[in-house]
Amino acid sequence: MTISQVHEGLEKKQFSALELCKSYLAKIKKEDKKIHAFLTVSEDLAISQAKKVDNLISRKRKIPALAGVPVAVKDNILVEGVLCTAGSKILGNYLAPYDATVIERLKKQGAVIMGKTNMDEFALGSSTENSAFGPTKNPHDLTRVPGGSSGGSAAAVAADLSVFALGSDTGGSIREPASFCGVAGLKPTYGAVSRYGLIAFASSFDQIGPIANTVEDCQLVFDAVKGKDPLDSTSLDLREKKGKINKLRIGLPREYFDKKTDDPRMEKVIQAAIKKYQEKGAKFIEVSLPHTEYTLATYYIIAPAELSANLARFDGIRYGFSAKDSAKKNLMEVYLENRGQGFGPEPKRRIMLGTFVLSSGHYEAYYLRAQKVRSLIRKDFEKAFKKVDAIFSPISPFLPFKIGEKIKNPLAMYLVDIYTNSANLVGLPALSLPVGKVGNLPVGLQIIGKHFEENKILEIAKWNNLRT
Amino acid sequence: MISKKEVKHMAKLARLDLTEKETVKFQKELYSILDYVSKLNEIDAEIAGVSRTDYTFSDESVVRQDRARKKDKEYAAGLLKLAPKTEKGYLKVKSILK
């Protein structure tokens, strides 16, 4: 179901919000055993929210676009009174004491929160296999990964266990799972959506965004959650006007279509989508992003550096996992053991990496150098965007891979994000649009826009008018 | 490129208790990741004189008044409930002074 179908159904009294909510709850109970999209199902909250919406309808009030619409929330976004684990044992018992700003805004609209979705631990990963609570499976093929780190959110939408979902994207974590699960996902411009109440991974990259069945749904959710929030000083109001696009110019970065790494079956689907846009009058121009081969290295220095600082707060003293205590232990041992036992392998690996690149003697050679290369990557995009309205590229060089295929080699897993990292390094909005399939496996097209031009890339995505 | 001693030092700085097996594994993995990211050395000449990017989109500094937001007692009690050890409304930690 789409958001507007739910809205219409409620207004025409074809079903009540409570009926809809209960049918989704029943479906989750029945079908999520095999997919494992949810870590927590917030049944009581969902039912009480649905009743409120029905109450509004019975009093003949006009209801907002998202009223009564089931939503699944990635488990690194705080929902008051509901467990929030970030896919980690160290937060296995953490009950969120407040609502994230995005949740407050969704609640104001009357969206019905079905539960919290599985994710790679602290959003570190591209397959959801790094969750401390077991992997999520791709609804299109249960032997394959749903992508990550917002794999539970994307799988929940793809399996129709929720109408839409919220994810977070630090290096591709909304776009890649959306692509792998055949749904649409938007990573907004850095600052477009408040990060208050999002468990931080890399603070200069993180953005919350929607995952939904259609581009229209992504737009509705984005409009509901975006905008300045006094509780996140990096958040801003969008300045873009909505409008018609004529004379669409789209850039194809020659470095983003790599014959050596990209799956050729997938490339065919992407090329067919490009052809469709050409037929509708879009003009394609080859552009160059010369520092593309350095984006992944830049990302894997800066993001772990920011992560190691952000994850320092998890020490098991104020909240979270606490190792077995003994009178003999000193404070240092308490820290070492709480963190050593609480974090899984991927957070540990990246905390170590981040600590290394920030440490005295290595700071300039790694961290500072990467921050400078980040400027070069930004300039590449500034130059390319002088000639075009948007950039098209694959989301990932790979089709959804088998569970277990890449998990033993961290570097191979990092390469999955090669086409999505740059939008985070530069802070650009980017979306993942399902454009076809190889066999039963979905393929996504990435559309990257200029800062604060999410409306434009959403409009461009609507041109495709294709659902898989 | 990274010695076992260095791995142990990083783990201590990061307050992570690692097993011997983990130390050996991370030494190998960090080596391969650091080897990969050293790619940036190739463009040393190009980055000379380039300024760093910390944030991608900031027009101006945002400031606000440094004022505490008042929360009721119930809320504070809820937060304390999340802590593994408390005493008389305080968090309880190991002593740091001998």
Domain ranges for chain B:
4-46
A344-369 pLDDT tens trace: 999 999 999 999 999 999 999 999 99
Nearest to A371, CA basis, from A256, A246, A255, A204? A204
Question: Who among B47, B75, B93 is closest to A376 (CB)?
Answer: B47
Q: Which CATH number fits domain B4-46: 2.40.50.140, 1.10.3720.10, 1.10.20.60, 1.10.150.170?
A: 1.10.20.60
- Residue A373 sits at φ, ψ, to 5 deg, of -65, -35
Tokens 């440094």, residue located: B66
What's the pLDDT score for residue A241? 66
What's the pLDDT score for residue A468? 37
Separation CA A92–CA A116 (nearest Å): 13
What's the pLDDT score for residue B58? 62
User: Tokens standing for A338?
Assistant: 């709480």
CA dihedral of residues B66, A101, A129, A178 (deg, nearest 10): -130
Instruction: Extract the residue ranges of chain A whose pLDDT is less than 70.
Output: 240-244, 465-468
Q: Which chain B residues are within 8 Å of A96, Cβ to Cβ?
A: none
Tokens 């390469």, residue located: A415
Rg (CA), chain A: 21
Q: Which chain B residues are within 8 Å of A234, Cβ to Cβ?
A: 55, 58, 62
Separation CA A305–CA A170 (nearest Å): 13
What's the pLDDT score for residue A80? 97
Determine the residue of chain B that is closest to A229 in CA distance: B62
- Give the contacts of A431 (CB within 8 A, at least 6 positions apart): A175, A184, A185, A186, A187, A215, A218, A446, A447, A454, A457, A458, A461
Mean per-residue pLDDT, B35-62: 86
What's the pLDDT score for residue A243? 63
Do strands B86-87 and A441-449 pair parallel, antiparallel, or not at all (unpaired)? unpaired
User: B75-81, long-range: CB within 8 Å, 24+ apart, which pairs?
Assistant: B75/A97, B78/A97, B79/A97, B79/A318
What's the pLDDT score for residue A467? 41
What's the pLDDT score for residue A402? 97
Q: Which residues pair with A167 in a beta bridge?
A: A209
Q: How far from A327 is each of A15, A334, B94, CA to CA, in Å?
A: 60, 11, 9
Domain residue ranges of chain A, discontinuous segments joined by +: 3-225
Contact A435/A394 with Cβ under 8 angstroms?
A: no
Three-class secondary structure of residue A161 per DSSP: coil
Tell me if B15 and A315 make a contact (CB, 8 A cut-off): yes
What is the enclosing helix (H) or strand (E) of A113?
strand A112-117
CA A275 to chain centre: 28
Nearest to B28, CA basis, from A19, A398, A349, A234? A349
Determine the residue of chain B that is closest to A294 in CA distance: B40
Separation CA B23–CA B4 (nearest Å): 7
What's the pLDDT score for residue B63? 82
Q: How far from A252 is each of A176, A249, A257, CA to CA, in Å?
A: 19, 10, 8
Query: Is A324 known to be catalytic?
Result: no
What is the enclosing helix (H) or strand (E) of A410?
helix A410-414
Contact A94/A49 with Cβ under 8 angstroms?
A: no
Separation CA A86–CA A116 (nearest Å): 9
What's the pLDDT score for residue B65? 85
The number of beta carbons lying within 10 Å of the beta carbon of residue A175 is: 35
Tell me if B85 and A372 make a contact (CB, 8 A cut-off): no
Question: Who among B29, B50, B79 is closest to A372 (CB)?
Answer: B50
Catalytic residue (one of A16, A42, A74, A131): A74
Separation CA A446–CA A252 (nearest Å): 11
The residue type found at A384 is A
User: Tokens standing for A189?
Assistant: 């411009």
- Give the contacts of A138 (CB within 8 A, at least 6 positions apart): A144, A145, A146, A147, A155, A158, A180, A181, A400
Q: How many CB pairs under 8 A join A and B?
A: 161
Determine the residue of chain A that is closest to B74 in CA distance: A97
Q: How far from A150 is each of A73, A286, A400, B33, CA to CA, in Å?
A: 9, 31, 14, 24
Query: Is A74 known to be catalytic?
Result: yes
Domain A3-225 fold is Amidase signature (AS) enzymes (3.90.1300)
B4-20 pLDDT tens trace: 999 999 999 999 999 99
Catalytic residue (one of A149, A150, A179, A396): A149
Query: Is A23 known to be catalytic?
Result: no
Q: What is the mean pLDDT of chain B?
A: 90
Q: By percentage, how much of chain B surpasses pLDDT 90? A: 64
Three-class secondary structure of residue A152 per DSSP: helix
**Does residue B73 or residue A215 have the better pLDDT?**
A215
What's the pLDDT score for residue B59? 61
What is the enclosing helix (H) or strand (E) of A187?
strand A184-187
What's the pLDDT score for residue A170? 98
Contact A294/B39 with Cβ under 8 angstroms?
A: yes
Angle of helix A43-58 versus helix A17-35 axis, rounded to 10: 160
Tokens 């552009």, residue located: A287
- Residue A220 sits at φ, ψ, to 5 deg, of -60, -45
Separation CA B94–CA A326 (nearest Å): 10
Q: Is the pTM higher than 0.90? A: yes
What is the enclosing helix (H) or strand (E) of A287?
strand A283-287
